[in-house]
């Protein structure tokens, strides 16, 4: 598995830094965020290490893994698949939470007590799920246009059915809205930041930010859900608001 890393000047001097994992969306690679988001200048100023994993396993051939852009290669959905033939290799949740996390901690100048996670679209879904399930490991979280309630949207239903099988009880472990509902309180007292473009063609059918808002309100989880006129689902949207996200994490992580 490939991943990208940005080290700020502070890290290059050997000082341990706060670190952000960024999870990219459908069709993306470990290079997409580094090339398109424009995060490095402010990350340098704030002393943030940026880590960008790939979006699925590569270099294996599974029948059907390239039949569509929203499933299989570059569409791992950050789950640990349980159904054949995906279960052997499509274990992106464990890869992020255990393998890559440990690799970063052991080999880079990062402070393991100051790690956050964020992402876009499918990666926003992954970031929310991973943070909600591992709040002691990932201390801050935000998302751009996340798939907030994948159990009820076409992307999520398709992916979960094939990766996890028909048991929707297993799906709940990978649905941010459901995780917040059953969490029963404020997992992140400092708040979750979510930005969403109102011109996003996937907003109504796939993303469901209002379901996330409602779940947070019910359990008392602070959420800043910001709806932006004129923005779509692309990286111009991310580049326009990346500063707010980096500053959100820097504040929460004390960087």
Q: List, for residues 17-68, the tens digit of each pLDDT value.
A: 999 999 999 999 999 999 999 999 999 999 999 999 999 999 999 999 999 9
CA distance 4 to 31: 6
Please give the tally of structural domains in the chain. 1
Does 85 sit behind a cis peptide bond, omega within 30 degrees of 0 on the bond before it? Answer: yes
pLDDT at 218: 97
What mean pLDDT is reported for the chain?
98
The arithmetic mean of pLDDT across residues 189-205, rounded, is 98
pLDDT at 184 exceeding the cut of 90: no
> Which residue numbers are catalytic?
121, 200, 233
Between vectors from CA 55 to CA 234 and to CA 232, what angle results, nearest 5°? 10
Task: pLDDT band for 255, please (50, 70, 90 cuts).
Answer: confident
Domain that holds residue 224: 3-253
User: Can you give the pTM of this predicted structure?
Assistant: 0.98
Check which CATH number belongs to the domain holding 240 and give it. 3.40.50.1820
Torsion angle of the four alpha carbons 41, 44, 47, 50, in this order, in degrees rounded to the nearest 10: 70
């Amino acid at each position: 598995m490939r991943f990208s890393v940005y080290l700020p000047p502070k890290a290059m001097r050997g000082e341990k830094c706060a670190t952000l994992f960024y999870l990219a969306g459908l069709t993306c690679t470990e290079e997409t965020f580094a090339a398109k988001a424009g995060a490095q200048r402010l990350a340098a100023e704030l002393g943030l290490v940026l880590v960008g994993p790939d979006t699925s396993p590569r270099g294996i051939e599974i029948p059907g893994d390239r039949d569509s852009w929203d499933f299989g290669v570059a569409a791992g959905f950050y789950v640990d698949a349980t159904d054949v033939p995906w279960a052997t290799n499509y274990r992106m949740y464990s890869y992020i939470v255990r393998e890559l996390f440990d690799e970063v901690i052991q080999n880079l100048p990062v402070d393991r007590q100051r790690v956050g996670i964020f992402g876009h679209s499918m990666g926003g879904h992954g970031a929310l799920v991973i943070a909600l399930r591992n709040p002691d490991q990932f201390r801050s979280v935000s998302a751009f246009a996340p798939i907030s309630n994948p159990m009820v949207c076409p992307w999520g239903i398709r992916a979960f059915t094939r990766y996890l099988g028909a048991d929707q009880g297993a799906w709940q472990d990978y649905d941010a809205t459901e995780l917040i509902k059953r969490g029963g309180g404020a997992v992140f007292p400092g708040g979750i930041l979510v930005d969403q473009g109102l011109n996003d063609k996937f907003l109504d059918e796939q993303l469901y930010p209002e379901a996330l808002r409602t779940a947070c309100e019910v359990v008392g989880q602070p959420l800043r859900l910001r709806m932006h006129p004129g923005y779509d689902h692309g990286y111009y949207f991310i580049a326009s608001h990346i500063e707010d996200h980096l500053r959100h994490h820097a504040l929460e992580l004390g960087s």
